[in-house]
Structure 1
Amino acid sequence: MSKRGSDFLYLWISDHLSDDPITDHVLLIIEMAVDAKRAAEAQGISGHEIDEEIGTIYKFIMQGLR
């Protein structure tokens, strides 16, 4: 993943991770990953740039849940 892609994900997840209790961790992670990818594409970061490390998106989100 590019530096700008990872920087974007870090900031996006920090801004969008809720403080509310989580009832379904898996669903939250999937929804956030999809939303983050769409937001990145809207800012000119290609889906391919994000997709090459899609596991990293899930890892970022899971770390934020801890």
Structure 2
Amino acid sequence: MSTRGSDFVYHWISDHLSDDPISDHVLLIIEMAVDAKRAAEAQGIPGHEIDEEISTIYEFIVHALR
């Protein structure tokens, strides 16, 4: 992932992670990863910059939930 892509994802997830109780962690992680990628593309960050490290996005969200 490019620096631009990783910075975007880091900030997007930090801004969108709710403090509310989570009923389904797996669903939340998948939805957040997909939404972050869409938001990045809307900001002009190509999907391939995010796709290169998509597992990193999932891992980042998991760590953020802890």
Same-fold status (TM-score > 0.5): yes
Name the residue aligned to 2:52. Answer: 52
The TM-score, its normalising length taken from structure 1, stands at 0.98
1: distance between equivalents of 2:45 and 2:61?
19
For this pair of structures, how many residues does the alignment match?
66
Name the residue aligned to 1:14. Answer: 14
After superposing on structure 2, the runs of 4+ consecutive aligned residues of structure 1 that deviate more than 4 Å are: none
Stretches of structure 2 lacking an aligned partner (at least 5 in a row): none
SS at match of 1:19: coil
The TM-score, its normalising length taken from structure 2, stands at 0.98
Stretches of structure 1 lacking an aligned partner (at least 5 in a row): none
CA RMSD in angstroms, aligned pairs only: 0.4
2: distance between equivalents of 1:7 and 1:59?
15
